[in-house]
């Protein structure tokens, strides 16, 4: 086997790897896999268009590197020094030029680039990405060649097999000729799912035909313990093994001395989720995939009802740890949102013109969902009840949109109130304006807002 190993480059030979999984392979899961013994960790698939839209930010608060979508301040990719030498970013693409450009955007912060050529989902297929590239080998090779030429780090691709073994081997030879460092092979065709057997003999044939590392994937049904990883490697004759579903259920499969109990794994995961400010829906999704039928327990039921990372952490005895960390992180969100749009001057001028022509009581404050666990605690609900109690006209909201961000103004008792902080959706923007109004009504004081990280 030829292994592209030197001081700077990642080696794909004789490795155990966390396979790319949509919504699973965010930073907390990748770090957890490294903690437990994985040699390489792949990101979830990130679409080229989104990566090209990103700007790079050194996040001093989290000690991370963030790639943030300029249009809505969404963190598309977050990484850190701990994983830099081991993380491979997977790109979803159908165009050589875009693929190369996206790879260059993140090149300095990852160890490798992978091109997704195996995803069977409709979204990928209709866009000419993922497994669609298997049936357009000229384009597949053009994409790989473009990326290999564009970056100085190793480039790989991950495929599914074709129905014919000889056709699959021939395709892999073409892909290998582009200069890729390794090829990952999922041993199922596009229409097959985990219930179907993995075509291990296809992977073995590819391994024997290529002189670059071949990474076997699709064996999770056969992998229940660490020893099974080695068996799968031997059966496929491959250089390395890539694990998806088994790792998704219990990431400690990478531990040579045996798996840990799920309670411990979830706590370890949550530590990383809190430390790197992972969004609650993503953290909940990852834990839900770990729990499986345990969701039927009392703790599982409470977990399913949770809506914030704090509530999830409370269930695993990490609530105080989460609260302390998140207060610091709220200030970071103000800074990120301030540069969310390409034309900040236009936003500021728009707001200034509005306030000059029609005076608005304004503060820069953020709506933080976790601060309002009960429906009656929500700022809009609290303001509505205040109006009814004091026999005032009901509040009316007007919301403006700039690209993917929103700012709302509430008119109440002949006065207007608004937050200068642009939110990611209309509902949150309305809640933000209600917070400002409640402050002027002396329901929320400045100390309350500062302590909870609401005020920017």
Catalytic machinery residues: 119
Strand order in the sheet with 396-402: 361-363, 415-419, 405-412, 396-402
Helix (H, G, I), strand (E, B) or coil at 47: strand
**242 touches 198 (CB < 8 A):** no
**417 touches 360 (CB < 8 A):** yes
Task: Dig out the tokens for 280 from the structure.
Answer: 């609650």
Q: How many CB atoms lie within 10 A of CB 168?
A: 24
Which of 171, 176, 245 is CA-nearest to residue 202?
Answer: 171
**104 touches 150 (CB < 8 A):** yes
Question: Exposed (0-12), middle (13-18) or buried (19+): which is 119, by Cβ within 10 Å?
Answer: buried
**148 touches 181 (CB < 8 A):** no
Question: Exposed (0-12), middle (13-18) or buried (19+): which is 125, by Cβ within 10 Å?
Answer: middle
User: What are the start-end ranges of the H helices in 279-404?
Assistant: 280-291, 298-305, 309-315, 319-338, 344-357, 379-389
Which of 199, 147, 158 is CA-nearest to residue 182?
Answer: 158
> How many whole angstroms separate alpha carbon 75 and alpha carbon 385?
36
Provide the sign of the torsion angle of the four alpha carbons 298, 299, 305, 310, taken in this order.
positive
> How many whole angstroms separate alpha carbon 386 and alpha carbon 367?
19
Number of H helices, E strands in the chain: 18, 15
Question: Exposed (0-12), middle (13-18) or buried (19+): which is 227, by Cβ within 10 Å?
Answer: exposed
∠ CA 267-84-332, rounded to 5°: 65
**40 touches 311 (CB < 8 A):** no
Within 13 Å and on the Cβ side, how many CA atoms surround 225? 3
Q: How many CB atoms lie within 10 A of CB 409?
A: 24
Going by the DSSP 8-state scheme, the letter that residue 423 receives in this structure is: B
């Amino acid at each position: 086997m030829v292994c592209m190993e030197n001081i700077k480059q990642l080696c794909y030979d004789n490795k155990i790897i966390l396979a790319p999984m949509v919504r699973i392979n965010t930073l907390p899961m990748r770090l957890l896999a490294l903690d437990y013994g994985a040699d390489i960790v792949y990101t979830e698939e990130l679409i080229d268009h989104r990566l090209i839209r990103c700007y790079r930010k050194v996040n001093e608060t989290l000690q991370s590197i963030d790639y943030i979508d300029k249009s809505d301040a969404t963190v598309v990719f977050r990484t850190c020094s701990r994983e830099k030498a081991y993380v491979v970013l997977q790109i979803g693409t159908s165009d050589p030029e875009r693929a190369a450009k996206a790879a260059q955007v993140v090149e300095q912060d990852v160890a490798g680039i992978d091109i997704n050529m195996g995803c069977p989902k409709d979204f990928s297929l209709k866009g000419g990405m993922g497994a669609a590239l298997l049936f357009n080998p000229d384009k597949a090779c053009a994409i790989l060649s473009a990326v290999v030429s564009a970056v100085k780090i190793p480039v790989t691709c991950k495929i599914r097999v074709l129905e014919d073994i000889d056709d699959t081997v021939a395709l892999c030879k073409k892909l290998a000729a582009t200069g890729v460092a390794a090829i990952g092979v999922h041993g199922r065709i596009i229409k097959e799912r985990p219930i179907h057997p993995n075509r291990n003999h296809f992977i073995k044939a590819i391994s024997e035909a290529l002189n670059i590392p071949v990474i076997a994937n699709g064996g999770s049904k056969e992998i229940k313990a660490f020893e099974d990883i080695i068996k799968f490697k031997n059966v496929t004759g491959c250089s390395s093994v890539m694990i998806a579903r088994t790792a998704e259920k219990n990431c400690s499969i990478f531990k040579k001395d045996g798996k840990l109990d799920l309670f411990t794994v979830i706590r370890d995961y949550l530590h990383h989720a809190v430390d790197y400010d992972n969004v609650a829906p993503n953290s909940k999704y990852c834990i839900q995939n770990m729990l499986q039928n345990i969701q039927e327990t009392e703790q599982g039921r409470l977990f399913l009802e949770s809506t914030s990372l704090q509530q999830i952490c409370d269930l695993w005895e990490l609530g105080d740890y989460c609260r302390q960390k998140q207060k610091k992180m709220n200030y970071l969100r103000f800074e990120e949102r301030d540069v969310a749009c390409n034309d900040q001057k236009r936003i500021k001028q728009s707001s200034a013109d509005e306030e000059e022509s029609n005076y608005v009581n304004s503060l820069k404050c953020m709506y933080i969902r976790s601060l309002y666990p009960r429906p009656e605690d929500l700022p809009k609900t609290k303001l509505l009840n205040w109006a009814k109690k004091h026999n005032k006209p009901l509040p009316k909201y007007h919301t403006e949109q700039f690209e993917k961000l929103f700012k709302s103004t509430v008119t109440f008792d002949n006065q207007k109130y608004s937050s200068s902080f642009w939110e990611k959706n209309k509902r949150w923007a309305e809640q933000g304006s209600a917070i400002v109004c409640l402050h002027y009504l002396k329901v929320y004081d400045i100390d309350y807002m500062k302590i909870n990280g609401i005020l920017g």
